[in-house]
Amino acid sequence: MTIEQQDMAISDFEKYMRFILQHKQGFTLENFIIFATSLINFYQGSNLIKETDRIDIALILSRSFNAGISNRITNDDLQEIASLIISDSTIDYSILNPIFG
């Protein structure tokens, strides 16, 4: 994974977080997982990342989410969350549209 891919993921996470907070939606783990799953699948479908980069991007996104909630999630749990994120192949464009729109 390149620095540009890492920066892209962090930037898109920050856009997501700002959108959620501005629109007073829940900054919840459930909403985050839907976002992260959709984002990673979009990245791969658009050839922005390789399949082998999926877990690294999922970990970057999970760590960013964790930082947003004062690092309450353990490293082991972050690994589990990242694995859950990459196990799903769906894309919810309704959650991505505000980020890319």
Per-residue pLDDT at 83: 98
Tens digit of pLDDT for each residue in 49-73?
A: 999 999 999 999 999 999 999 999 9
Average pLDDT for the chain: 95
- Tell me what percent of the residues of the chain surpass a pLDDT of 70: 100
CA-based torsion, 44, 47, 50, 55: positive or negative: negative
Report domain extents, the chain. 3-100
Q: Measured between alpha carbons, how far is 1 from 44 in angstroms, rounded to an integer?
A: 12
Tens digit of pLDDT for each residue in 10-25?
A: 999 999 999 998 998 8
Res. 96: pLDDT tops 90:
yes
Res. 27: pLDDT tops 90:
no
Cβ neighbours around 100 below 10 Å, total: 10
What are φ and ψ of residue 96, in 5° steps?
Answer: -85, -30
